[in-house]
Amino acid sequence: MSTVQARNVNHPEHRENLKAEKYGVIREAMLAALPEDDWMSFADLEDAVRARLKDRQVPAQLFPKPGSVRWYCKAVQLDLEARGEIERQPKKSPLHLRRRR
pLDDT digits (tens, 9 = 90+) for 15-24: 999 999 999 9
Rounded to two decimals, the pTM is 0.94
**In 8-85, beta strands by DSSP E:** 15-19, 40-41
Which amino acid makes up residue 84?
G
pLDDT digits (tens, 9 = 90+) for 33-80: 999 999 999 999 999 999 999 999 999 999 999 899 999 999 999 999
CA 53 to the chain's CA centroid: 12
Say whether pLDDT at 12 is over 80. yes
